[in-house]
Amino acid sequence: MRTVLRGARWPGDVAVRDGEIEAVGSVPEEPGDEVIRCDGDLVTAGLINTHHHLFQWMTRGRCAGCDLFGWLVELYPVWGRLDVEDVRAAALVGLGELALTGCTTAADHHYLVPRGDDSVFDAIAHAARTIGIRLHLARGSMDLGESRGGLPPDHVVEDVDAILASTESVIERHHDGERVVVTVAPCSPFSVSPELMRESAALARRHGLRLHTHLAETLDEERDTLERFGRRPVDLLDDLGWIAGDVWMAHGIHFDDAEVARLGSAGTGVAHCPSSNARLGVGMCRVVDLEAAGSPVGLGVDGAASNEVGGLQPELRQSLYTARQRAMRADVFMPPDALRLATEGGARCLGRDDIGRLEPGCRADLVVWPGADLADVPDPLAGLVLGPDRRARHVLVEGAHVVRDGELVGADRRGLRRELAERARRLWP
């Protein structure tokens, strides 16, 4: 049977068949069509979140005045106390919030595996199936504890062999290439060894999977890599085989012109997380330059401990503000650029060509945005990006409802929040 989203102010009708977009624009009626009325609303491709740490929803509202390293040092020990059920509760709330704000595919970078219990990845994958959105499950890792010159305390890191064995197992257990896609993701230059970076790249490439890490988020990180390795972060990653087209990195802020050109010609992607960057005061990503150089750039919410909104739609406006503040010009980075980052750019970061575009042949991952309050705005896309925050009316993944009339289909949003709050409170100081 065919489903038709009919009457949207933009882009008109959208027809869906067998989980795929069949037509966009003006769709003649066919007998038996299931019709979803969208009069006055906007329909876009589902938004794609390219960087998150779902577990961090357990620790919102802390370290409000810390820089990144101070924030990490205070939070690592708390995160070290999270059990699998905490991670599950946080993943359900976090993925639910993403779905409600128009996200249909989310990457989660989970890098804390206390006591080596990697069933946390089962909990996150299960949460994504419950909420109904696609998951790019980044098996994160840290092997460089304080005693070896790293930032995290020793009790929250794992050893290289255990990490690699677990990563193989997570791939085996969860990777299907469609709804759950596994990524190999050592955490950051200041929490992992060069050996782990090299071995992770080799493992990912053996399986044809992508690589993800944090890079060039702060000047402290740049100083740290210069001190320890005598190398700038990009040079260090290049030595380790990580400046490549199968890598996307979170933040990517402190690059010089030559580094931007290298990343662009390699096709290395960047997950731009503008609200998190603003909260931590780390700087502004060179989004316009990176895209011009050829890098895929996507949008990321980042963990709720540094972006306590936890929704993807508000990042559209924040990315526009950040690009213009950085350029100190109002004629760069227009509203469609923000939407492109959140859709096509994100898909390119994740290595997917089947999502992120509102075109026949793409998967039917779609968002219907309420548009009544934008009826006075001549350009509805400008209204979606610049206008008030909004939550999705409907979200479809593979043509099936994940959000219907503003509520999750697969879970009770209020119940999830209550459970999470109970769990989080036992970790209060």
> Which residues are at the interface with Zn ion (CB under 5 A)?
250
The residue among 47 and 250 lying less far from Zn ion, judged by its C-beta, is 250
The residue among 75 and 250 lying less far from Zn ion, judged by its C-beta, is 250
The residue among 3 and 268 lying less far from Zn ion, judged by its C-beta, is 268
The residue among 300 and 380 lying less far from Zn ion, judged by its C-beta, is 300
Q: Are 132 and 397 in contact (CB under 8 A)?
A: yes
What 8-state DSSP symbol labels residue 240? T
Q: Are 1 and 16 in contact (CB under 8 A)?
A: no
Query: Least distance to Zn ion from the beta carbon of 250, Å?
Result: 5
* CA angle (68 as vertex; 85, 346 as ends), nearest 5: 70
Closest CA to 313 of 153, 99, 24, 78: 99
Supply 17's token pair: 């068949």
Query: Least distance to Zn ion from the beta carbon of 72, Å?
Result: 10
d(CA 59, CA 422): 12
The residue among 67 and 168 lying less far from Zn ion, judged by its C-beta, is 67
Residue nearest to Zn ion (CB): 250
The residue among 341 and 411 lying less far from Zn ion, judged by its C-beta, is 341
The residue among 45 and 106 lying less far from Zn ion, judged by its C-beta, is 106
* Per-residue burial over 197-221, b = 16 or more CB atoms within 10 Å of its CB, e = otherwise: bbbbbebbeeeebbbbbbbbbbeeb
Query: Least distance to Zn ion from the beta carbon of 253, Å?
Result: 12
The residue among 68 and 92 lying less far from Zn ion, judged by its C-beta, is 68
d(CA 126, CA 317): 31
The residue among 251 and 393 lying less far from Zn ion, judged by its C-beta, is 251
The residue among 302 and 337 lying less far from Zn ion, judged by its C-beta, is 302
- Cross-strand partners of 220: none
Q: What residues contact 338, with CB distance under 8 A and at least 6 apart?
A: 299, 316, 317, 319, 320, 385
* CA distance to 42, 159, 166, per residue, from 145 (Å): 48, 10, 19
Q: Which residue has the tokens 């009708």?
A: 13
Query: Least distance to Zn ion from the beta carbon of 270, Å?
Result: 12
* CA distance to 100, 269, 343, 401, per residue, from 291 (Å): 28, 9, 14, 33
One-letter amino acid of 202? A
Q: Is 82 helix (H, G, I), strand (E, B) or coil?
A: coil
What 8-state DSSP symbol labels residue 189? T
Query: Least distance to Zn ion from the beta carbon of 111, Å?
Result: 9
The residue among 47 and 368 lying less far from Zn ion, judged by its C-beta, is 47
Closest CA to 264 of 244, 283, 284: 244
Query: Least distance to Zn ion from the beta carbon of 267, Å?
Result: 21
d(CA 107, CA 323): 23
Query: Least distance to Zn ion from the beta carbon of 53, Å?
Result: 6
Query: Least distance to Zn ion from the beta carbon of 303, Å?
Result: 6
Query: Least distance to Zn ion from the beta carbon of 248, Å?
Result: 12
d(CA 154, CA 144): 8
Query: Least distance to Zn ion from the beta carbon of 300, Å?
Result: 8
d(CA 251, CA 274): 8
Q: Are 234 and 255 in contact (CB under 8 A)?
A: yes
Q: Are 146 and 113 in contact (CB under 8 A)?
A: no
What 8-state DSSP symbol labels residue 63? -
Query: Least distance to Zn ion from the beta carbon of 188, Å?
Result: 8
